[in-house]
Each structure stands twice: as C-alpha cells, then as structure tokens.
Amino acid sequence: MKLKAVLTQLAQAAKDASRTTAELPTSKKKNLLRDVAFRLKKSRRVLLRANELDLKAARHMRVPHAMMDRLMLNDERIAGMAKAVLDVARLADPVGRVLARWKRPNGLVISKVTVPLGVVLIIYESRPNVTSECASLCLASGNSVLLRGGREAFHSNRAIVEIYRRVLADYRVPQAAVSLVHRPERRGIDELVRMKNLITLAIPRGGERLMKRVERHARIPVVKHDKGICHVYVDRDADLKMALEIAFNAKCQRVGVCNAMETLLVHEAVAPKFLPILGERLAQAGCEMRGDERTRRYVKGIKKATDKDWDTEYLDRILSIRVVQSLNQAIAHIQKHGSAHTDSIVTRNRSAAEKFKAQVDSSSVMVNASTRFSDGNEYGFGAEIGISTDKIHARGPMGLEGLVSYKYIVEGSGQVRT
C-alpha cells in the first residue's frame, strides 16, 4: 500500500479511537496508567533486549556519544519511565475542568470547560522514554497519539508501545489510541502534518532541519519543540562558588538534552578569577571549550570560538564561552543568539536579576539555578510532552494543560440578541 494511504488509515484509526479516549472516566484512565507502569517495570528484560538491538545498530553506524546516551535504556531509566507514568496517573484529570463560569446580565450562564484536543502527533528522536512520556500524557488528557519516533530507536519504541496497547486492550479501549508510525520514510512526516481533518496538533521535537520540514508542509497547527541554545550568565555580583556549581551542572549533568547550557557568558569583572577554576573543572570532565579572545587569556590552550559557535546547539561535551562587559551586553547576546528556551543569571544583585527576568523573553528565565531544571517533571507537571519553543498555545515545559482545549457552554432560558 502506498505511504499516504497507510498513514491516512493510521490517522483515521487514531481519530476514531479518540472518541473513546475523550469519554474515558478519570478513574479508568488512572487505573490504565497504573497498569502500564506496572507492566513497564515487569517488562524490563523485553525492553532491554529491544533496546540492545537499537544500540547495536547505532554502534555499527558510529553515532556520536551524545546520541548513544540519549538512546540507551538501563534499569534506572526503565524505573524512571515507570515512575513518570505513575506521576502522570496521580495528576488531576485535565478534561472536564470548569475553567470559569459566569452569569451575564441577560441571565445567560457561560461555562468554559476543558476538552481533549483529539489526535496529537509527536515527532521526535532518540530517547525511547519520550515514547512513554508522550503516550501517558496523551491518554491522561483524553487524546489519541501518533508517535513518530526516530528510526534509530525503533525497536525500543515498538516494545514500549506494545505494552501500552496490551493494557488498552485490557481496558477495551481501541489500541489505535496509541500508535507508532512504523514507516520510516522522512516523507511520511510531510504527509502526516497535512492531515488537517484527522490530526489536531503536531508537536515536532528536534533540530532545525525537522522544524523547517514541518513548517514547510504543515497544514495543521504545530507547537514546535525546537533547539535549546541555553545560556548561563555569571554576573559581576555572582557568588562565584555558586556560579561554578551551576555552570558545571548546566553543562555536564547531561549533555544530550535541550536544556543543557551551550554558551557561558561571564562578566569581565569576575572572569579573571572565575574562568581559570571553571576551565580546570570542565577540562577534567572532558569538556571541550571554545572561547572568545578574552576567555582564552584566562583558560589556556582552548580553541577560538567562531561566530557559528554562538548559534550552535552542541548537545555534546562542548561549551562556548564569552566574556562580556555588562549585563546589557549579556542580555543582547542572549536576544541575538539564544533560542528563547532557557537562560539563567547567577547574581546576588536584586536589580540585575529583575532586569534579566524582564528583558530576557525566554520560555524559562532563571535566577541562581541550573538551566537543567527547565523540565516538566522538575516543575511538578509529571512527565512532559516536551519543551515548547513557540509562544502560542503552550510555552516551555508542556504538560497536561498543553494537551487540552476548551469549549464554551452557554445555558439560557430563551434569550435572543437585540
């Protein structure tokens, strides 16, 4: 069968299933998710075996270290995946919430009530736990989900989706409510994002090429989860010990993720003291540094940062560093080179913090904290569907609230408009 026909059938089945998921009672959704969590843990071996197939292929293709890290499952990550599903099951049902209710002078009573979106399409890569996070959040919000994971994680994703579908069958919910897009053709993405009567929202998570591809072909609404070029700015009034910990954590705690720091900005007043110590620590951790001219005075032997570096999301053990003359210059750098994802200032100066918070228009703006906290779980949303870099519908870490819409219910007693 032709690609378009296969995908249309898949999307139509997801839409049909969404009528059932939309009307699932809260308790049934919660029980279903708890069963999924239980089965994920119980299926440890199946998952690791599937993952090993993906890892083997990746090793064969010599994919970069950061991608291998994203792809890998282990006991800890499977346990984390199951826990994330339990966390979602514990959250309040986002469907059927009365957001507001008011009475108009003419007696009409208006209620604004949340409803599921319908069918959500997620396009993503590498990390298999994303598959489970997205499936659990979509089910919890009464949606069907089409999961278009990367080819490199195919076996892992299929094993995870199979667990969801077995539980769906147990609960007599159509299995098409959670579907993996099996066809690996890139062109499939173009077809899917055109299905405007079937898919309500597309969420592409990934790099620039994917975003451009989706932008070019989309006829349906899109909330982009684009790259994170995140900054930490070490102010002249920073607690340098705190700055050291935050900068090190933001870069090194996990490198293959969008909320890791890619560029460090350091005020010139503290650079001579701060940079040599940080440089040593990063070098010990095997992190490559690329600095502007002044940085290279304080951290010997590192590469020169080129213009391209300021606009690059490394997703790897690489950091670009620039010494700035002022808070204003730091903000201007972020406005010019940042991706409006997550940016952090380290300072003890209250007015510097206020200025940074007001003028940096990123989805998360932090004061004295690591950029790595920009995450649905860390914000207390349970798992996250991703981190939106758009300003429309949902911005920043996107949990259940981003997966519902609403309708107005207007109740009258015969009112007509005059």
Q: Which CB, 23 or 293, lies closer to a copy of itself?
A: 23
Cα 219-123-160 angle, rounded to 5 deg: 140
Residue with smaller CB distance to a copy of itself, 59 or 104 = 104
Q: 222 vs 302, which CB is nearer to a copy of itself?
A: 222
Q: What are phi and psi of 206, to 5 degrees?
A: 165, -155
Q: What is the DSSP letter of 339?
A: -
Judged by CB, which is closer to a copy of itself: 239, or 292? 239
Task: Work out how close the CB of 407 gets to a copy of itself at its nearest, in angstroms, rounded to a whole number.
Answer: 6
Q: How far is the CB of 68 from a copy of itself (least distance, A)?
A: 21
Q: Minimum distance from CB of 111 to a copy of itself (Å)?
A: 9
| Whole-angstrom distance, CA of residue 418 vs CA of residue 122 | 46
**For binding to a copy of itself (CB under 8 A), which residues are involved?**
23, 102, 104, 108, 110, 115, 117-118, 196, 200-201, 215-216, 218-219, 221-223, 239, 242, 245-246, 248-250, 253, 353, 357-358, 361-370, 372-374, 378-380, 390-393, 395-397, 405-418
Distance in angstroms (rounded) separating the CA atoms of residues 145 and 18 = 9
Q: Give how far Cα 252 sits from Cα of 35, 132, 255, 367, Å.
A: 35, 25, 6, 19
Phi first, then psi: what are they for 199, rounded to 5°? -110, 130
The answer to whether the CB of 331 falls within 8 A of the CB of 308 is no
CB of 253 to a copy of itself, least distance (A): 5
Q: Are strands 396-398 and 144-148 parallel, antiparallel or unpaired?
A: unpaired
Nearer to a copy of itself, 51 or 342 (CB): 342
CA–CA gap between residue 189 and residue 265 (Å, rounded)? 37
Distance CA 382, CA 223 (A): 20
Give the shortest CB-268-to-a copy of itself separation in angstroms: 22
CB of 316 to a copy of itself, least distance (A): 18
Q: Are 266 and 275 in contact (CB under 8 A)?
A: yes
Q: Are 173 and 24 in contact (CB under 8 A)?
A: yes
Give first-to-last CA distance, the chain, whole Å: 57
- Nearest distance from residue 396's CB to a copy of itself, in Å? 5
**Backbone dihedral angles phi then psi of residue 145, each to the nearest 5 degrees:** -135, 135
Quick one: 48 or 201, whose CB is closer to a copy of itself?
A: 201
Q: Closest CB to a copy of itself among 105 and 301?
A: 105
Beta carbon nearer to a copy of itself, 325 or 408 = 408
CB 245, min distance to a copy of itself, A:
5
Q: Look up residue 412 and give its two tokens.
A: 């009258």
Cβ-based nearer residue to a copy of itself, 177 or 222: 222
Tokens of 392: 């429309």
Tell me how far, at minimum, the Cβ of 143 lies from a copy of itself, in Å.
Answer: 11
Q: Residue 48 pairs with which residues in a beta bridge?
A: none
